[in-house]
């Protein structure tokens, strides 16, 4: 069954668009993202309720598909992100200035290699708010996950040179531990904001 909707109008450019609290079975939201979304959006965000049993894969694919329309910043809230999704997300949005992950679950074991994916990246700001890190099964906490992610991002010399600002608020790390991890990976040039 296809629920595609053809809009009788088209937006051309929108400054900010944040779709909030998608719940299970929200066909309207997926149709909006795939059919009605403006041609250009400066700042885009999508929040989902994974705790409600929502499978975020469909929404994730749509975000990647429309990534070229997003010009300045992207924020995702509540997504479960595998290593493959993480690499795809960063490479798809390497043209924006600001990437934000909030209340997401990152399944990470080894440092992802971003060296080829983030060539000529425009990312200047990275925000991680209450991101939880798990092993690849998603069942065990992975306290090394944050350091592993930062090590992976450091594999891109372009990302390291371009990054100017980090906003990191993680429940399992003190500010001193965060400063140590980003410094060990060559991000000491980036300003850590509260």
Report the alpha-carbon distance of residue 184 to residue 168 in Å, rounded. 16
The whole-number pLDDT of residue 5 equals: 39
Q: For residue 4, what pLDDT band results from cuts at 50, 70 and 90?
A: very low
Instruction: Return the beta strands (E) in 55-164 as ranges.
Output: 70-77, 80-81, 98-102, 105-107, 125-129, 132-134
Task: Give the residue extent of every domain in the chain.
Answer: 13-193
Comparison of pLDDT for 171 and 21, the residue scoring more: 171
Whether the predicted pLDDT of 6 surpasses 50:
no
pTM for the full model? 0.85
Comparison of pLDDT for 51 and 64, the residue scoring more: 64
Q: Which residue has the tokens 């001193």?
A: 176
The domain defined by 13-193 folds into 3.80.10
The whole-number pLDDT of residue 164 equals: 95
Structure tokens at 53: 């049993």
The whole-number pLDDT of residue 38 equals: 72
C-beta of residue 131 within 8 angstroms of C-beta of residue 166: no
Q: For residue 119, what pLDDT band results from cuts at 50, 70 and 90?
A: very high
Whether the predicted pLDDT of 1 surpasses 90:
no
Backbone φ and ψ of 87, nearest 5°: -65, -45
Please give the helix or strand (H or E) that residue 150 lies within, else none.
Answer: helix 145-154
For the purposes of burial, counting CB atoms within 10 Å of the CB of 91, is it exposed (0-12), middle (13-18) or buried (19 or more)? middle
Whether the predicted pLDDT of 69 surpasses 60:
yes
Quick one: DSSP state of residue 127?
E
Whether the predicted pLDDT of 8 surpasses 50:
no
Cβ–Cβ contacts within 10 Å for residue 114, how many?
24
SS3 for 31? helix
pLDDT in tens, 130-160: 999 998 888 888 889 999 999 999 999 999 9
pLDDT in tens, 174-194: 999 999 999 999 997 788 886
Whether the predicted pLDDT of 24 surpasses 90:
no
Of 2-6, 107-111, 120-124, which gets the smallest average pLDDT?
2-6
Closest CA to 134 of 108, 111, 156, 113: 108
Cβ–Cβ contacts within 10 Å for residue 57, how many?
12
Q: What is the DSSP string of 11-27?
A: --EEEEEEEEEE-TT-H
């Amino acid at each position: 069954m296809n629920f595609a909707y053809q809009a009788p109008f088209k937006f051309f450019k929108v400054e900010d668009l944040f779709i909030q609290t998608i719940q299970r079975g929200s066909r309207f939201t997926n149709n909006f993202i795939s059919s009605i979304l403006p041609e250009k959006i400066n700042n885009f965000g999508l929040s989902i309720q994974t705790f409600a049993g929502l499978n975020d894969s469909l929404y994730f694919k749509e975000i990647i598909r429309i990534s070229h329309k997003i010009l300045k910043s992207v924020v995702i809230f509540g997504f479960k992100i595998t290593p493959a999704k993480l690499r795809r997300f960063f490479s798809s949005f390497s043209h924006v200035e600001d990437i934000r992950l909030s209340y997401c679950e990152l399944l990470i074991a080894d440092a992802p290699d971003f060296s080829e994916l983030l060539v000529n990246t425009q990312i200047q700001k990275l925000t991680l708010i209450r991101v939880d890190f798990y092993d690849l099964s998603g069942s065990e906490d992975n306290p090394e996950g944050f350091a592993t992610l930062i090590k992976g991002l450091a594999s891109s010399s372009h990302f390291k040179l371009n990054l100017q600002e980090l906003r990191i608020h993680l429940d399992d790390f003190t500010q001193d531990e965060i400063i140590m991890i980003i410094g060990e990976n060559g991000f000491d040039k980036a300003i850590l904001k509260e």
